[in-house]
């Protein structure tokens, strides 16, 4: 049967062209420029979050928890509005407005910190405003790789971003500690002024790529109608619906393992703080290693199958973590968890981005972020409470079982098992091809 045309980012190379489909093709310069600015901006954000957390800890645990909640709650509550606005007004405009807002907020925090120190009201205000801006900024930013590169190189573009994110997060905490000890909250806020200003300059530099973006999309309809349309799309599209369901379980039972349960396990078994840091670093190393392989060689022919295998690998690593008594084996298990996590993320993220129509990119990204954030908010509390009542190893065994079962479910799910890269048999690019099923929109060819 003849293939229906697949959609590509405006101005991007046709992913069906074998000349551009080889994994060795260079990523577009405009994407690399945007990513560099985004990672610098993320570094400033990591430094600022460290500074807020450190300043809040001086006021006690309740204030520290309140500051963290003040970031996450408005972000979660407004994500759908942010996604609808990104598709209606254009992702570029939303990101420019967000960067300008964060420059103003960060400058205000810096001046207030030098005048008043770090009172609770300032910390809560900074956290609340950051969460509000994030709700609009994250869906637009998450859609940018699809807008800047063609489907053929999207997995490699996302792998490069994932590598940069891991390295930036690793450096952010260390830099934040050094900076806060010397310049305090005000110095960290000034660094964030500089990083968001740089990101703003990058967006201005690539402005021509987004000429006419969002034109006419705001005519007619309402914001609530746009939100409902995005939710309806995700629910009716089997591939998106199943993919987001898998992501929600992975976020609930995989992501809290190293950040929440490993520190509790270390205290329970008397390991001390150093092994916890090594397990965290090993997980990051595993994610980066897999991302670099995808960056160099391209994604798997069947991304859904690769994502399922990644969850099985991560589940095995979590199970070992719950059983071992040696910190050395725990570090090796952290590497296994990271490799599985990286394999899953490197294939499910481009699959979701490519499955979303261009008219709904920000809304689908908003729903994806909301699913992850909601699962984390719920399971952090649930797993933490469970670890107070039963051994942490048993909690980890439950997480391992849930992650592995989700991996098996992914391998058994027809929409995920059958989806392929466009032209996988011919050695072409890395978009996705899936079987046509009831409820799926046109534009996907049966295999």
Higher pLDDT, 196 or 14: 196
pLDDT tens per residue, range 112-136: 999 999 999 999 999 999 999 999 9
Residue 238 has pLDDT above 70, yes or no: yes
More confident residue, 310 or 166: 310
- Each residue's pLDDT tens digit, 410-438: 999 998 988 886 544 433 334 455 544 33
Report the CATH architecture of 236-447: Up-down Bundle (1.20)
Q: What token pair was written down for 385?
A: 């409470």
> Which residues lie across from 433 on neighbouring strands?
420
Per-residue pLDDT, 258: 87
Angle at 72 between CA 350 and CA 370, to 5 degrees: 35
pLDDT for res 68: 81
Spatial distance between the Cα atoms of 80 and 231, rounded to a whole number of angstroms: 9
What's the average model confidence in pLDDT over 64-84?
A: 89
pLDDT band at 4 (very low <50, low <70, confident <90, very high): very low
The whole-number pLDDT of residue 427 equals 37
Q: Does 244 score more than 90 pLDDT?
A: yes
Whether the predicted pLDDT of 219 surpasses 90:
no
| Average pLDDT value for the chain | 84
pLDDT at 300: 87
Q: pLDDT class for 143, splitting at 50, 70, 90?
A: very high
How far apart CA 426 and CA 208 sit, in angstroms, is 34
Mean pLDDT, residues 215-221 taken together: 55
Buried-exposed string 405-416: b where 16+ CB fall within 10 A, e elsewhere: ebbebbbebebb
Please list, in sequence order, all residues whose beta carbon lies within 8 angstroms of the beta carbon of residue 398, skipping any fewer than 6 positions away: 253, 386
Higher pLDDT, 61 or 331: 331
Percent of the chain past pLDDT 70, that is, above it, reads 86
SS3 420: strand
**What CA–CA distance (Å, rounded) separates 146 from 6?**
13
Q: Residue 150: what pLDDT?
A: 83
Write out pLDDT tens, residues 365-409.
999 999 998 888 888 888 888 888 899 999 999 999 999 999 999
Greater model confidence, 64 or 156: 156
- What gap in Å lies between CA 399 and CA 256, rounded to an integer? 9
Pairwise CA distance, residues 76 & 195, whole Å: 24
What's the mean pLDDT in 169-192?
87
Architecture, CATH, for domain 4-8+22-207: Up-down Bundle (1.20)
- pLDDT tens readout for residues 281-309: 899 899 999 999 999 888 888 999 999 99
324 close to 330: Cβ distance less than 8 angstroms: yes
pLDDT of residue 421: 63
Residue 15 is predicted with a pLDDT of 37
**Would you say residue 442 has pLDDT above 90?**
no
Over residues 206-217, mean pLDDT: 68
Copy the structure tokens of residue 182.
Answer: 């010397």
pLDDT value, residue 259: 84
The answer to whether 15 touches 21, Cβ cutoff 8 Å, is yes
Q: What residue ranges do the domains of the chain occupy?
A: 4-8+22-207, 236-447
pLDDT at 439 over 60: no
Cα–Cα nearest to 39, from 128, 217, 171, 222: 171
Residue 207 vs residues 5, 93, 176, 200, 342: alpha-carbon distances, Å: 27, 9, 32, 11, 32
Using DSSP's 3-state secondary structure scheme, residue 2 falls into: coil
Rounded to whole angstroms, the Cα distance separating 157 from 141 reads: 14
Q: Which residues of 68-83 are buried (b: 16+ CB within 10 A; e: fewer)?
A: bebbbebbbebbbbbb
For the segment 249-279, what is each residue's pLDDT rounded down to a tens digit? 999 999 999 888 888 888 888 888 788 888 8
Query: For position 31, what pLDDT does the model report?
Result: 94
Identical fold for domains 4-8+22-207 and 236-447, yes or no, is: yes
Q: What's the average model confidence in pLDDT over 81-96?
A: 93
Predicted TM-score (pTM) of the model is 0.81
* pLDDT above 90 as % of the chain: 55
pLDDT class of 212 with cuts at 50, 70, 90: low
pLDDT of residue 220: 56
**Is 20 a residue whose pLDDT tops 70?**
no
pLDDT at 24: 53
What's the pLDDT at 441?
39
Averaged over 323-351, what is the pLDDT? 92
pLDDT tier for residue 280 given thresholds of 50, 70 and 90: confident
> Which whole number is the average pLDDT over 181-204?
94
């Amino acid at each position: 049967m003849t293939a229906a045309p697949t959609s590509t980012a405006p101005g991007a190379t046709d992913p069906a062209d074998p000349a551009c489909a080889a994994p060795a093709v260079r990523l577009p310069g405009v994407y690399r420029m945007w990513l560099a600015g985004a990672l610098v901006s993320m570094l400033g954000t990591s430094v600022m979050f460290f500074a807020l957390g450190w300043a809040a800890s001086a006021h006690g645990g309740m204030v520290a928890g309140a500051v963290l909640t003040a970031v996450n709650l408005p972000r979660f509550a407004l994500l759908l509005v942010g996604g609808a606005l990104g598709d209606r007004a254009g992702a570029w405009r939303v990101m420019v407005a967000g960067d300008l807002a964060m420059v103003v907020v960060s400058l205000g925090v810096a001046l207030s910190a030098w005048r008043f120190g770090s009172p609770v009201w300032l910390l809560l205000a900074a956290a609340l405003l950051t969460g509000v801006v994030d709700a609009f900024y994250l869906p637009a930013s998450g859609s940018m790789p699809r807008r800047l590169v063609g489907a053929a190189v999207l997995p490699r573009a996302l792998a490069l971003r994932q590598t940069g994110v891991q390295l930036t997060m690793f450096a952010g905490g260390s830099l934040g500690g050094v900076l806060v000890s010397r310049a305090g909250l005000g110095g960290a806020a000034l660094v964030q002024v500089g990083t968001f200003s740089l990101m703003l300059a990058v967006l201005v530099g690539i402005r021509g790529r987004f000429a006419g973006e969002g034109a006419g999309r705001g005519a007619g309809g309402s914001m609530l109608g746009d939100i409902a349309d995005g939710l309806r799309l995700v629910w009716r599209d089997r591939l998106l619906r199943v993919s987001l369901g898998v992501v929600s379980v992975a976020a609930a039972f995989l992501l809290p393992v190293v950040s929440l349960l490993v520190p509790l396990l270390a205290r329970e078994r008397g390991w001390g703080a150093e092994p916890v840091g090594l397990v965290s670093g090993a997980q990051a190393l595993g994610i980066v290693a897999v991302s670099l392989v995808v960056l160099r060689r391209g994604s798997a022919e069947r991304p859904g199958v690769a994502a399922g295998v990644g969850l099985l690998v991560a589940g095995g690593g979590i199970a070992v973590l719950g059983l071992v008594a040696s910190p050395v084996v725990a570090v090796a298990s952290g590497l296994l968890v990271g490799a599985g996590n990286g394999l899953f993320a490197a294939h499910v993220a481009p699959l979701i981005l490519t499955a979303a129509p261009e008219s709904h990119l920000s809304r689908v990204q908003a729903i994806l972020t909301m699913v992850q954030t909601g699962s984390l908010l719920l399971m952090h509390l649930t797993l933490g409470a469970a670890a107070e009542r039963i051994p942490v190893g048993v909690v980890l065994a439950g997480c391992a079982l849930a992650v592995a079962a989700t991996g098996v479910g992914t391998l058994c799910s027809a929409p995920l098992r059958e989806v392929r890269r466009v032209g996988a048999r011919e050695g072409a690019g890395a978009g996705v091809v899936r079987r046509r099923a009831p409820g799926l929109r046109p534009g996907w060819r049966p295999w």
